[in-house]
Chain A
Amino acid sequence: MSGRPKAVVAMSGGVDSSVAAALLVEQGFDVTGVMLKLWRGEAANTNSGCCNLGAAEDARRVADALDIPFYVFNFAERFEATVIRDFNDTYASGRTPNPCVRCNQWIKFDALLERADALGAEVLATGHYARVDRRGGRPALLRGADRSKDQSYVLWMLDRRRLERVRFPVGDMTKSETRAIASRVGLGTARKPDSQEICFVRAGDLDGYVALHMPEASEPGPLVDGSGRRVGTHRGVGRYTVGQRKGLGLSLGVPVYVTGIDAAANSVTVGAREQLEVRELVARDTSFVGAPPAAGDRVLVQYRAHGDTTPARVRAIDPASVHVVFDEPAYAIAPGQSAVFYSAARPDEVLGGGFVARTAAPAAVA
């Protein structure tokens, strides 16, 4: 056995995680590549970067080229019991799930970290575009250097204990730099497209998935306006997200959006864009990298994977939830989504995050 530090790299067969593995090998780590099989049988969605058969073959070839061992871990049962179950429950309750965040929380940076322990590996690396600043002894989680590729939004659950062990080798690079390294070290996967789809939803057909797995969320019901007047019929609460404009089947002469979903009453509320305006937000199941902010602190809030941040002030905080008040109106915040808090003083730094439990419109503030 070598005395080199050991690292486990989660490999998808795509260019980012392949380059991450190559860089760790160059840095002298004793690297083991792993892929997570998250779906029973073969993969549902062959377009997703995760867990399909072709991806496993690609990743194995990369590992062979780097001369590192490669294993596929079968986390299908755990994934089904946690991430998929949460996904179904969240949709059925009229909220919007974030399976990639949950997978990071429960699988990649939990179950996989335990496997890394078993392998005696202190370090766990992924191909995420994010950075860890280790200056000053206490690690800080930062956005990826390439803002257009930044994935820090889905990593807010990493606390300091986990960050100590996590590496994001491509987080300092732009996508084109990553591709350049891939061709320099002769990795054949540089062509592979990025995945944006949910790995367990077949062919991206979310409506079909909801109909199959959440029949109660596919029950038609009333579409109502802000005053409670019925203006149409919806196709099941599981098919709508707050802020959605397309697919409502309404022609009211003005653009309307989904402004609220009440799963218990099986009703979907629509309204004008102004009615999507949000002034306050409460996030639950929160986690912070270091010390949580205090009431009165200023933060930047990102509430959508590829959105901008909105400045806000912490109104109240307790160990499980945070209540923030936006400086200016925010729009179309879907309950269930992640709200990620960035530092007002250092806008690239992730302080932590949580899941949006509820929002309040301007009227409620006054």
Chain B
Amino acid sequence: MHYLDHAATTPLRPEAADAMLEASEHFGNPSSVHAFGRRARRALEDARDRVAAAVGASPSEVVFTAGGTEADNLALKGAADKRRGNGDHVVATSIEHHAVLHAVAWLGSRGMRTTLVDVDTTGVVDPGSVAEAVGRSTILVSTMAVNNEIGTVQPVAEVSEAVRAANPRALVHTDAVQALGNLPVDVHAWGVDLAAFAAHKIGGPKGVGALFVRAHTPLEPLLHGGGQERGLRSGTPNVAGIVGFGVACELAAKEVHEKAERVRALRDRLLAGVLAAVPDAVVNGDLEARAPNNLNVSIPGAEGETLLLLLDRAGIACSSGSACASGALDPSHVLLAIGVPRPLALGSLRFSLGATSTEEDVDAVVAALPDVVARARRAA
């Protein structure tokens, strides 16, 4: 079996698993004043330090959530609600993850004006276009750091700067879920007010994430209750999961350059092999401004759905398009947004590499492709 779907999720790192197991034994509620609580609180705050260090934040700027989707929702809805008096306009790029796009659409359904900024065919947003969309009543701008489907790296720092120039009161959010572990992350260098992260994309557990909230950034919570996480995220925290996240963050930050170099070499080997096996395959999105672990290609004359299941039967795990709730595949909104023709958008494959990827994984894909593509083309 060969796993090339690290953008979907990653295997839990043994170091994180060990730390989680140990943390689970200290079952105290971190809000309790007694020794049991103190012990859990220490673990929680230690993890907060690690996550903050990995993303260039202060520990007090890290709010733990139940994942990247919650972090994005807290950022968008929390800021929009808190800033209601300042304006009624939210801006995002058209290639955001659904956690952002659907939250923006929901705000739109509640009377907020929304603008989705288009990107060019390289899949990289132009900071000038974002700034043009920003007006006096803009509350928040959301630009992802790395696209989850085509891996393109967005100029977050330039976007922040351009947005500040257009409207200094507008908040800047970035969905950085796919950036963590793939490129160095520094939220202050990016100049953002809010940034969303998820543990399971970097070898941590599922159901754990964080929102960076720059000091003094006004935000309304989604969840009300005991006032944990400085009132921004009530509910007893998932201490063991957060501990696993902390360990994974620390490792990811430490290894980011070495890993980037290694997976880039594997990705380039995969790209060369794919183009040799399927000469008319088309790479989607810019190859330079791209996270080192991502390859997204369209296979003319084949449907991604068929390719995917044939690869699955050949023991290769990758992905295609965006799976809807039923598991059926719709053409990716990202590929359509960067101008990929519909038939090619339907015939796309996303390979995403990770810390555990090997040359054998890459070579297995290249070996399987000719037969898989031939069969898929016959069925199309």
Task: Give chain A nearest CB distance to B324 CB in angstroms.
Answer: 8
Contact across chains for B326 and A37 when beta carbons are under 8 A apart: yes
How many positions in chain A have a CB within 8 Å of any CB in the partner chain?
Answer: 23
Complex Cα spacing A37 to B310, Å: 19
Asked whether B1 is an interface residue with its Cβ less than 8 Å from the other chain, the reply is no
Most buried by A among B309, B312, B325: B309
Task: Give chain B nearest CB distance to A216 CB in angstroms.
Answer: 29
Query: Given the interface contacts A69-B313, A71-B305, A71-B309, does A115 sit within 8 Å of B326 by beta carbon?
Result: no
Contact across chains for A115 and B327 when beta carbons are under 8 A apart: no
Nearest CB in chain A to that of B323: its residue: A72
- Chain B residues in 8 Å Cβ range of A118: 306, 310, 375-376, 378-379
Asked whether B330 is an interface residue with its Cβ less than 8 Å from the other chain, the reply is yes
Asked whether A195 is an interface residue with its Cβ less than 8 Å from the other chain, the reply is no
- Chain B residues in 8 Å Cβ range of A57: 326
Contact across chains for A117 and B329 when beta carbons are under 8 A apart: no
Give chain B interface residues in 317-354, CB to chain A under 8 Å.
324-330
- Chain B residues in 8 Å Cβ range of A74: 305, 328-330
- Chain A residues in 8 Å Cβ range of B378: 114, 117-118
Query: Given the interface contacts A118-B376, A119-B310, does A73 sit within 8 Å of B328 by beta carbon?
Result: yes
Contact across chains for B325 and A53 when beta carbons are under 8 A apart: yes
Query: Given the interface contacts A74-B305, A119-B309, A119-B310, does A53 sit within 8 Å of B375 by beta carbon?
Result: no
Give chain A interface residues in 116-137, CB to chain B under 8 Å.
117-120
Asked whether A64 is an interface residue with its Cβ less than 8 Å from the other chain, the reply is no
Task: Give chain A nearest CB distance to B70 CB in angstroms.
Answer: 22
Asked whether A35 is an interface residue with its Cβ less than 8 Å from the other chain, the reply is yes
- Chain A residues in 8 Å Cβ range of B328: 35, 37, 56, 72-74, 76
- Chain B residues in 8 Å Cβ range of A72: 326-329
- Chain A residues in 8 Å Cβ range of B306: 115, 118
Contact across chains for B309 and A120 when beta carbons are under 8 A apart: no
Contact across chains for B326 and A56 when beta carbons are under 8 A apart: yes
Complex Cα spacing A42 to B325, Å: 8
Task: Give chain B nearest CB distance to A225 CB in angstroms.
Answer: 50
Asked whether A235 is an interface residue with its Cβ less than 8 Å from the other chain, the reply is no
- Chain A residues in 8 Å Cβ range of B329: 72, 74
Asked whether A60 is an interface residue with its Cβ less than 8 Å from the other chain, the reply is yes
Contact across chains for B375 and A120 when beta carbons are under 8 A apart: yes
Produce 1/0 per residue, A69-83, CB < 8 A to B.
101111010000000
Produce 1/0 per residue, B159-201, CB < 8 A to A.
0000000000000000000000000000000000000000000
- Chain B residues in 8 Å Cβ range of A71: 305, 309, 327
Contact across chains for A53 and B312 when beta carbons are under 8 A apart: no
Produce 1/0 per residue, A33-54, CB < 8 A to B.
0010100001000000001110
- Chain B residues in 8 Å Cβ range of A115: 306, 379
Complex Cα spacing A189 to B334, Å: 37
- Chain B residues in 8 Å Cβ range of A76: 328
Complex Cα spacing A118 to B375, Å: 5
Partner of B309, one of A35, A53, A69: A69
Task: Give chain A nearest CB distance to B306 CB in angstroms.
Answer: 5
- Chain A residues in 8 Å Cβ range of B379: 114-115, 117-118
Partner of B327, one of A1, A42, A60: A60
- Chain A residues in 8 Å Cβ range of B309: 32, 69, 71, 119
Give chain B interface residues in 297-313, CB to chain A under 8 Å.
305-306, 309-310, 312-313
Complex Cα spacing A103 to B312, Å: 28
- Chain A residues in 8 Å Cβ range of B327: 56, 60, 71-72
Nearest CB in chain B to that of A73: its residue: B305
- Chain A residues in 8 Å Cβ range of B375: 117-120
Complex Cα spacing A230 to B309, Å: 60
Give chain A interface residues in 6-41, CB to chain B under 8 Å.
32, 35, 37
- Chain A residues in 8 Å Cβ range of B330: 74
- Chain B residues in 8 Å Cβ range of A69: 309, 312-313
Produce 1/0 per residue, B210-229, CB < 8 A to A.
00000000000000000000
Complex Cα spacing A42 to B324, Å: 9
Most buried by A among B305, B310, B327, B378: B327
For the complex of A and B, list the 4 residue pairs with the smallest distance between their C-beta atoms, beginning with the closest. Answer: A118-B379, A37-B328, A56-B326, A74-B328
Task: Name 18 extra pairs, CB < 8 A, besides A60-B327, A74-B328, A117-B379.
Answer: A1-B313, A32-B313, A37-B326, A42-B325, A53-B325, A56-B325, A56-B328, A69-B309, A69-B312, A69-B313, A72-B329, A73-B328, A74-B329, A74-B330, A114-B378, A115-B306, A118-B378, A119-B310
A-B CB contact pairs (8 Å), 12 listed: A37-B324, A42-B325, A56-B326, A56-B327, A56-B328, A69-B312, A71-B309, A73-B328, A74-B328, A114-B379, A118-B306, A118-B310
